[in-house]
């Protein structure tokens, strides 16, 4: 688990505290699709050779098509979105930056370290920057297109592939705008470390220089291109995720928990005062080797990702106990 900041994951720490081997645990703390995209067979050359222009071109073409990237917007593949976040503040002069929370908590420290005046609110006149996560993690809030008067606009759409019709990709042609996407959540390939920045060609050009050649591995190029060029899998996955999210709601509602938000990849619940608090429920589930997410900003909110198909019975029994 990252030092000093709260994140999902941290299964090694959970196992160290509660016992059990890592493989005995069900990790519901991250919001990652538990049924990942099936990895295609890779040739030995993909592992042995430096990534070449052809492989990058195939990935770029597949990404532009899958996300309907408009003409005039540039696209850059990244070694995961976490790698680009510390570089974002240098793309514009520091000033007031709106980062409405609670949200993914790597943006605030990155901008604060670079001298920006971070404001936990929606955008306001005079702001120099804006970072929104849409749909938001952990609340599930969908944002509308932000004001175009802001100098640097970062739109994180890590979870947007659950409902692509709500994407703000049309904003990618606007100056100062970057839209971030990745294969970690919807495709369930967080370990691949493959993300994308889409938007203002001037900003993309700066990032391209910063990351240099060969920042994406050959296997990631090949797997990413195949996954993004498989609309049938994406359509079937959206249907399954929606059904599983509704199933999880029914399970949690039966305990007295109330849905507070989320996406079809994760659900945020409020535990009313008639129930034990979130830390107690997390502890109860951890005793059964099921790891969930609680938050320092609320003792009454807990977030659960979706169980894998074979793990529903264990979660049902743990919640009943």
Phi first, then psi: give them for residue 264, nearest 5 degrees: -80, 0
Contacts of 169 (CB under 8 A, 6+ apart): 67, 68, 69, 70, 157, 179, 198
**96 and 81 assigned to the same domain:** yes
**237 and 313 assigned to the same domain:** yes
Whether residue 317 is predicted with pLDDT greater than 90 in this model: the reply is yes
Residue where one domain finishes, among candidates 162, 196, 229: 229
**264 and 182 assigned to the same domain:** no
**127 and 236 assigned to the same domain:** no
Contacts of 260 (CB under 8 A, 6+ apart): 139, 268, 269, 270, 301
Q: Establish if 207 belongs to a structural domain.
A: yes
Residues facing 78 on adjacent strands: 195
Number of separate domains in the chain: 2
Percent of the chain with pLDDT over 70: 97
- Res 10: pLDDT: 84
Q: Tell me: the pLDDT tens digits for 76-117?
A: 999 999 999 999 999 999 999 999 999 999 999 999 999 999
| Burial (0-12, 13-18, 19+ Cβ within 10 Å), 314 | middle
**87 and 219 assigned to the same domain:** yes
Q: Establish if 251 belongs to a structural domain.
A: yes
**140 and 155 assigned to the same domain:** yes
Residue where one domain finishes, among candidates 188, 213, 229: 229
**244 and 276 assigned to the same domain:** yes
**71 and 166 assigned to the same domain:** yes
Whether residue 1 is predicted with pLDDT greater than 80 in this model: the reply is no
Q: Tell me: the pLDDT tens digits for 276-290?
A: 999 999 999 999 999
Q: Are 248 and 234 in contact (CB under 8 A)?
A: no
Whether residue 2 is predicted with pLDDT greater than 60 in this model: the reply is no
> What's the CA gap between 255 and 271, in Å, rounded?
9
Give the CATH number for residue 185: 3.40.640.10
Q: Establish if 3 belongs to a structural domain.
A: no
Give the CATH number for residue 293: 3.90.1150.10
Q: Establish if 290 belongs to a structural domain.
A: yes
Whether residue 171 is predicted with pLDDT greater than 90 in this model: the reply is yes
Q: Establish if 95 belongs to a structural domain.
A: yes
**105 and 183 assigned to the same domain:** yes
Q: Tell me: the pLDDT tens digits for 6-46?
A: 666 789 999 999 999 999 999 999 999 999 999 999 999 99
Residue 135 preceded by cis peptide, ω within 30: yes
Residue where one domain finishes, among candidates 229, 248, 279: 229
Q: Tell me what the mean pLDDT of segment 125-134 comes to.
A: 98
Q: Which of 73, 105, 113, 106 is nearest to 89 (CA)?
A: 113
Domain of 17, in residue numbers: 11-36+232-320
**119 and 193 assigned to the same domain:** yes
pTM of the predicted protein model = 0.95
């Amino acid at each position: 688990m990252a030092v000093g900041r709260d994140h999902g994951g941290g299964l090694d720490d959970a196992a160290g505290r509660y016992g059990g081997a890592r493989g005995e645990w069900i990790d519901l703390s991250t919001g990652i699709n538990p049924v990942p995209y099936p990895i295609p067979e890779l040739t030995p050359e993909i592992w042995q050779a430096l990534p070449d222009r052809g492989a990058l071109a195939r990935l770029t073409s597949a990404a532009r098509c899958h996300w309907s990237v408009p003409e005039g917007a540039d696209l850059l593949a990244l070694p995961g979105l976490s790698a680009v976040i510390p570089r974002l503040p240098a793309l514009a002069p520091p000033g007031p930056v709106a980062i409405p929370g609670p949200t993914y908590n790597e943006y605030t420290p990155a901008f604060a370290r670079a001298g920006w005046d971070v404001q936990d609110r929606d955008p306001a006149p005079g702001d120099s920057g804006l970072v929104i996560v849409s749909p938001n993690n952990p609340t599930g809030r969908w944002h509308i297109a932000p004001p175009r008067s802001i100098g640097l606009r970062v739109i994180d759409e890590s979870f947007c592939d659950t409902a692509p019709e709500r994407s703000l990709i049309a904003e990618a042609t606007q100056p100062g705008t970057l839209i971030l996407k990745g294969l970690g959540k919807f495709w369930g390939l967080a370990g691949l470390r493959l993300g994308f920045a889409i938007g203002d060609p001037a900003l993309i050009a700066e990032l391209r220089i910063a990351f240099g050649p060969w920042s994406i591995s050959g296997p990631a190029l090949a797997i990413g291109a195949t996954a993004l060029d498989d609309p049938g899998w994406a359509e079937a996955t959206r249907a399954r995720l929606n059904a599983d999210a509704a199933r999880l709601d029914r399970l949690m509602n039966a305990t007295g928990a109330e849905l507070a938000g989320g996406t079809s990849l994760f659900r945020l619940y409020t535990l009313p005062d008639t129930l034990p608090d979130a830390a107690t429920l997390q502890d109860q589930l951890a005793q059964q080797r099921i790891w969930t997410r609680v938050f320092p900003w609320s003792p009454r909110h807990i977030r659960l990702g979706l169980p894998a198909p074979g793990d529903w019975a264990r979660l049902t029994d743990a919640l009943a106990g």
